[in-house]
Structure 1
Amino acid sequence: MRVAFDEADSRRNCKSKRRNTANLNSKKKFNRGAYLNPKVSAARGGRRRAGDEGAARHGVGVAGEEKNATRKNLVFLEDSCHMYDARSAFDEADQTGQESRAVEVAMEQDLDPSHPSSHHLLSAIQAMEPSHCVISHARACGGGSITEQVQQFIWDHCLSTSGDFHVPYLKNFLKKLITQVELDHGYVLDNLYEIYAHYMTSFKDDSLGKRDASGICKRISFLFPEGCSELQSCPHSRVLVFSLQCSLNMLEGDTGCSIWPSSLFLSELILSHPKLFSNKSCFEIGSGVGLVGLCLAHVQASKVILSDGDLSTLANMKSNLELNHLNVEANTPEINKDPNMVKCLYLPWESASESQLQDIKPDVVLGADVIYDPVCLPHLVRVLAILLNQMNTDFCRKHASCKSLSPNTKHENGEHNHEDAIDICDSRIEASYNGDSNSVPKEAPVAYIAYVIRNIETFNCFVSLGEQANLDIVDLTDSLKPLNLLCYMQSYNQASARLLRITCSNMQ
């Protein structure tokens, strides 16, 4: 503990010495400029020469008068030169003082949290962006440097209210922040030194390490640009924030509790085009932390069903839904009219039965980064084919009566009329589509799959299997673009994600 505080005191003392040295050098420079002004030296030399010449030309009396007159003129000249030199010096000092006062006034003013640059900095810290990304935002707030004003903003809005924030992340961020300010010869706030020293000692506590090892909580902020007020998904503040419990054990295989780029992309898509999902029954495969489900609930999808094939991921997903004030109904696909109700299903692709999938009856199927393992692709394609083809299954089951309306159907007058038979069949189908029953979707189900190509062979394998299963796969990346709602997240590259639209070829 003592070592940490000694290090912090040493940093402050070094910084104080540098500032005092800078002030002393500035004063010396000012004094040298005042006393070594060439105009003052020239005036003094001219006065001596003029006095000697006047005494030589005239007599003693005349010389005395001329000497007095010359003395008066030279005194005036010297005073004028002194006044000019003093005025120049004071002008320089006044300009320096004005700049200093301007800096002081700027330092006294707080950063506006609603300003875009401040929003980006705050959002980056809450999302636990890499330290170099956060420092980049801090420089943007300070006009190129991490000013005391910016440091105070970080302290007020991030550090002093950190609560259960991930301590190792804050410790690493503070270390790099302080280092950058010192390299820029800036002044580091005492509060930052002190809390950094506190983290250096506290993180050694075993209980703190165990608590942080269990996971982290990220706050993902979607920042809507100006002009989006008419968008259904845009809040009045133009900021939508979700809290997500995430895992630190990606290297140990706990990938389902991590936030993947395609999940961010799909979330941006939902919030940018809410009409595609509102009042629709939406089903997500491989839901992970549940971010996509939170966005679906926000745009008022009529039903939201999330699924995953890992029990620990499913448990974390439920916690995230409850953390964001949504009710969770587990392991049941029944319809519930509660708009805040989200269903969670344990659904391993390899063991999901056809009847179980047919009972879901989604209007929209979603998936983020589900094209990753060649071993799982046949099971994924089978699940998609059943979900997207069930309109045809329902049609065959519920409209079998149309088969009786064959070309041999007779009217009461005994005449055959093939066109009338087709019209009757179409009218029955249309009536069922427009009726009160929800058993038949009004439109063919569609799937939106977001992915990042990491292995082209794996992707080509998915496309080949999809074609064999009569799935029509179309790339919509260039035609259906989301808004850039995560502009502060430098670790996320929206352009790296692709969007597929998948339908069943039999339904075209």
Structure 2
Amino acid sequence: MEEPERLARGFERGFLAGRRLADLPWEDLELELKNSRDSSSLLAVLQKTVLHPLCLKYPPSVKYRRCFLTELIKKHEGVADEPLDALYEALGNVLNAEESTHCYKNYLLPSGDAVTLCESTAIISQGTTGLVTWDAGLYLAEWALENSAVFSGRSVLELGSGIGLTGIAISKACRPRAYTFSDHHQLVLQQLSENIHLNGFLLEPKAHSQDAAKGQSCTAELVELQGPNLTVVELDWNSVTKEQLADLRPEVVLAADVVYDPQLIQALTGVLQKLSICNSDGDPPEVYIAFAIRNPDTYHLFQTELDKAGIRWQVVPGSQKNLFPYDSHANITILKLHL
């Protein structure tokens, strides 16, 4: 691979996923510009980022693209006398674009496919943090792609799916038989369904609808040709019954970044206890929960509640590839629970 192409690939994955600009390989670009004294590297980076087909169709936020191009122009001006028209033309197009409360992020898979998500540009929006992708979800998706045998041909239930990164990645790359996404916030469920559709899955109404106020669920089934059966379910941890969980027939249960609030831990533990007895005709499901340890006290509280419930746990080694752009310095853990 030629150096400009290799350098551009270094920007591509992080830029498309909206990674922090400071984490992109600017030093490598500076070194290449000083050594080559031409614009081939800059043009290659431009083609793999702002002019990438995914970016043109599903762009990151206007602010993100503007700041990226401004930094790219600074790097060029630091070593060249003549302006590079392509850079200024791209910046002009971005400056004329309208800001939005939503943006797109594109997470590249090893297969060359991508998970495209519409996300909120604000961490907290409409009273929820569920409209953005969190590091633990990226971490869990990365682990899942390296351990696809856990999911292949099996029925998976995800608790607190958010806007769908982990589940869509698994559905695309790990060949589950069925995947049930679940959450409780109505706006999150709506955005989740839109993102599933955005990634090529067809939405078909299911035959039954239930009253969520009574702990029942409004369900929509999504089917992809020759792919898993995907379902979106409204799930209230405080009122869901073991019978409802049994109807979902999960063989594997996942959750990412659901251990951050002490007030949620008891409800989560209650769901796990119900899952341990919901499969009367078979073994309890395998359970994997990933979370960033922001407060050690909250982590220890979760461990204590698991011990009280008689749920054994073990730490699962994470991926070392850093395929997705989460903070590599974040303290993220995956626990395998034995119900």
TM-score by length of 2: 0.84
Which residues of 2 match residues 34-73 of structure 1 at below 5 A? none
Instruction: Give the CA deviation at 1:188.
Output: 4.0
Pick which of 330-339 and 453-462 moved more. Answer: 330-339
Aligned partner letter, 2:122: N
Aligned partner letter, 1:171: R
* 3-state SS, counterpart of residue 163 of structure 1: helix
**Pair 1:158-2:49 in alignment:** yes
1:173 aligned residue: 68
Task: Output the CA distance in 2 between the equivalents of 1:494 and 1:271.
Answer: 21
Cα deviation, 1:408-435, whole Å, max 9, x if unaligned, reads xxxxxxxxxxxxxxxxxxxxxxxxxxxx
Contact persistence 1:247–1:258 (CA under 8 A): yes
* 3-state SS, counterpart of residue 142 of structure 1: helix
| CA 193–133 in structure 1, closer or farther in 2 if over 3 Å, else same | same
Aligned partner letter, 1:501: K
**Pair 1:243-2:116 in alignment:** yes
Which residues of 2 match residues 436-475 of structure 1 at below 5 A? 440-441=281-282, 443-475=283-315
Instruction: Give the CA deviation at 1:444.
Output: 3.4
Instruction: Give the CA deviation at 1:339.
Output: 2.8
| CA 358–273 in structure 1, closer or farther in 2 if over 3 Å, else same | same
Contact persistence 1:282–1:363 (CA under 8 A): yes
Aligned partner letter, 1:250: I
| CA 199–302 in structure 1, closer or farther in 2 if over 3 Å, else same | closer
1:122 aligned residue: 12
Runs of 5+ unmatched residues, structure 2: 207-217
**Pair 1:193-2:88 in alignment:** yes
Cα deviation, 1:172-215, whole Å, max 9, x if unaligned, reads 11112212332345654122123324434x25xxxx23xx22x1
Contact persistence 1:279–1:302 (CA under 8 A): yes
Identity of aligned residues (%): 24
2:256 aligned residue: 368
Which residues of 2 match residues 281-296 of structure 1 at below 5 A? 281-296=155-170
Instruction: Give the CA deviation at 1:459.
Output: 1.3
Task: Output the CA distance in 1 between the equivalents of 2:222 and 2:56.
Answer: 39
Aligned partner letter, 2:56: G
Task: Output the CA distance in 1 between the equivalents of 2:223 and 2:291.
Answer: 31
Instruction: Give the CA deviation at 1:126.
Output: 1.1
Task: Output the CA distance in 2 between the equivalents of 1:451 and 1:379.
Answer: 16
Which residues of 2 match residues 336-485 of structure 1 at below 5 A? 339-391=227-279, 394=280, 440-441=281-282, 443-477=283-317, 481-485=318-322
Instruction: Give the CA deviation at 1:249.
Output: 2.3
| CA 354–172 in structure 1, closer or farther in 2 if over 3 Å, else same | same
Instruction: Give the CA deviation at 1:292.
Output: 1.5
Instruction: Give the CA deviation at 1:149.
Output: 1.1
| CA 385–470 in structure 1, closer or farther in 2 if over 3 Å, else same | same
**Highest CA radius of gyration, 1 or 2?**
1
Cα deviation, 1:13-56, whole Å, max 9, x if unaligned, reads xxxxxxxxxxxxxxxxxxxxxxxxxxxxxxxxxxxxxxxxxxxx
Which of the pair is proportionally richer in helix? 1
Instruction: Give the CA deviation at 1:257.
Output: 1.6
| CA 333–354 in structure 1, closer or farther in 2 if over 3 Å, else same | farther
Instruction: Give the CA deviation at 1:365.
Output: 0.5
Task: Output the CA distance in 1 between the equivalents of 2:116 and 2:160.
Answer: 19
| CA 271–140 in structure 1, closer or farther in 2 if over 3 Å, else same | farther
Aligned partner letter, 1:219: N
Runs of 5+ unmatched residues, structure 1: 1-108, 224-234, 395-439
Contact persistence 1:219–1:243 (CA under 8 A): yes
Instruction: Give the CA deviation at 1:144.
Output: 6.7
Which residues of 2 match residues 81-92 of structure 1 at below 5 A? none
Pick which of 189-198 and 303-312 moved more. Answer: 189-198
